[in-house]
Structure 1
Amino acid sequence: MGMTHSDRRPERHRGPVTLRREAVSSGTADQALLDSAGRPDWKVRDAWRTLRILSEFVEGFDTLSDLPPAVSVFGSARSAPDSAECDLARRLGHALAKAGYAVITGGGPGVMEAANRGCTEGGGLSVGLGIELPFEQSVNEWVDVGIDFRYFFARKTMFVKYAQAFVVLPGGFGTMDELFEALTLVQTGKVTRFPVVLMGVGYWSGLLEWMRTTMATRGMISLEDLEMLLVTDDVNEAVKHILESDLSPPRGEMAP
């Protein structure tokens, strides 16, 4: 008698390893690396862990080095498939594919899955960079090239290194993390000519107002820093802005 769906759960991907049922542990590799409290062996184990970290960079660089020009798209894994942001992400993924871009997401459900789906439906290459989490989350079915990472910092490097732009849709802490890292890299000159687009005007308006009236007013940022951001609900405007900032040869076409 074959296994049922419930028999196969839980399941976790830990780098190239798949763990199921009793073999699944509650911790993650990031947790083991960063939470050293009460671990007397951390000096020895962390030294060896650097080889695993190196392997993630090698695997990422080797797999993604031949990607066409790409755009990283971020947004919530919790968004329902019929939500406004998922509809926007799907249309964006399709338009980016038609303009000649691959789409890179975190590979999860919600907005990420919608962007991957739109890209695939538009004939583009759909990439998902997954991460080991304490709860189940597998790479969505619309991903053509998928990599599972143990470490957030290795994964985050791939989002920036292989993208010509970031598009950020409504999301939570992880989405905010990626947004502000991108802004910091542009502000400090670590990356140049790197457009950052916020899509979902209603969602972002409160944050932008706070940045203008509190952060800028108190001198924590300058008003010019906010010019790094394009805020729009128009897919074509977003893609046009990315194309105008891209130094790669012309390709693709705008969405109708």
Structure 2
Amino acid sequence: MNESRQRGVGRDPGPERHRGAVTLRREAIPLATADQRLLDSRTRGDWKTRDAWRALRILSEFVEGFDTLADLPPAVSVFGSARSKPDSPECILAEELGARLARAGYAVITGGGPGVMEAANRGATEAGGLSVGLGIELPFEQGINEWVDLAIDFRYFFARKTMFVKYAQAFVVLPGGFGTLDELFEALTLVQTGKVTRFPVVLMGEAYWGGLVDWLRDTLAADGKIGSADLELIVVTDDVDAAVRHIVEADAALAAEHESVQETAIAQTEAAQESPARGRGER
């Protein structure tokens, strides 16, 4: 018997990538991700034979996401850098935020990775809330952090981003890089264009985001590229309680608005039903 086996020493699993239900290790890991292969125009010759099947795979990701998250309680999506260290100010803030959101009755949705995402998931889990991680296939595999209760691995960014918005009542954005900025500006665009309504966007880290907010105000708004009212779509704070209070109040306002609309519709229906009855009584 091999000496390493006798000692109970197994083979080093090496790098690992998850692709839906499939786990790939070592040489089985492809050099390109599914997103790269889909968006690379140089492989246009493959479209007629492969893209029809890709469409089914994309559809399956939406079906899997919708089916898995359909019964999710009210939730907040939290974004931030995967590179942040556990003792960094943003990770400490994210952990406190996750706990506070859980105590307010919200599930916490993150990208499921390390750094700020892990801190937010940890805070929610330790406070007794539900932690959700929406992972993504990347060339540098991050994996789902240990504090996630419910995880989905996506191949395609656009399917994953739909889930971040569809199943959340708000976004909270902590310091991060390109991916964080991508999620931030997509959310702002959806709110600005009315694709989602009453969707709070909170930036946490006043010192980090201050320069960006100044640029939005002094350059974009001043030059007429956005309206002054668009700046009101963002709340910037370092206060966790203020961030959660803003989300809760926006949620309550939207619920009250929906209730008012329903009551008005019911009243109009009842009035329309009574009107013909009165007419018949008069005859």
TM-score band by shorter chain is: over 0.9
Q: One-letter code of the match for 1:10?
A: P
By how many angstroms is 1:136 displaced? 1.4
Q: Secondary structure at the match of 2:45?
A: coil
Greater mean deviation of Cα atoms: 217-226 or 69-78:
217-226
Distance 1:3 1:152, change over 3 A: farther
Q: Structure 2: how far apart are the matches of 1:186 and 1:39?
A: 34
Q: Secondary structure at the match of 1:246?
A: helix
Unaligned segments of structure 1, at least 5 residues: 251-256
Correspondence for 2:61: 56
Select the structure of larger CA radius of gyration. Answer: 2
Q: Structure 2: how far apart are the matches of 1:8 and 1:249?
A: 50
Candidates 19, 23, 39, aligned match of 2:24: 19
Correspondence for 1:254: none
Correspondence for 1:228: 233
- Asked if the contact 1:165–1:194 (Cα under 8 Å) also holds between the matched residues in 2, the reply is yes
Q: One-letter code of the match for 1:156?
A: K
Task: Give the alignment's Cα RMSD to 1 decimal.
Answer: 1.4
Correspondence for 2:175: 170
Residue by residue over 1:90-117, the C-alpha shift from the partner in whole angstroms, topping out at 9 and shown as x without a partner, is: 0000000000000000000000000000
Is 1:159 equivalent to 2:161 in the alignment? Answer: no
Q: Structure 1: how far apart are the matches of 2:81 and 2:48?
A: 36
Correspondence for 1:126: 131
Correspondence for 2:216: 211
Q: Secondary structure at the match of 2:95?
A: helix
Q: Structure 1: how far apart are the matches of 2:145 and 2:151?
A: 9
- Asked if the contact 1:100–1:124 (Cα under 8 Å) also holds between the matched residues in 2, the reply is yes
- Asked if the contact 2:91–2:120 (Cα under 8 Å) also holds between the matched residues in 1, the reply is yes
Is 1:146 equivalent to 2:151 in the alignment? Answer: yes
Correspondence for 2:37: 32
- Asked if the contact 2:134–2:160 (Cα under 8 Å) also holds between the matched residues in 1, the reply is yes
Candidates 80, 89, 92, aligned match of 1:87: 92
Q: Secondary structure at the match of 1:41?
A: helix
Unaligned segments of structure 2, at least 5 residues: 257-283
Residue by residue over 1:54-81, the C-alpha shift from the partner in whole angstroms, topping out at 9 and shown as x without a partner, is: 0000000000000110000000000000
* TM-score normalized by the length of structure 1: 0.95
Q: Structure 2: how far apart are the matches of 1:60 and 1:96?
A: 22
Q: Structure 2: how far apart are the matches of 1:88 and 1:43?
A: 49
More helix by share: 2
Q: Structure 2: how far apart are the matches of 1:201 and 1:230?
A: 10
- Asked if the contact 1:60–1:147 (Cα under 8 Å) also holds between the matched residues in 2, the reply is yes
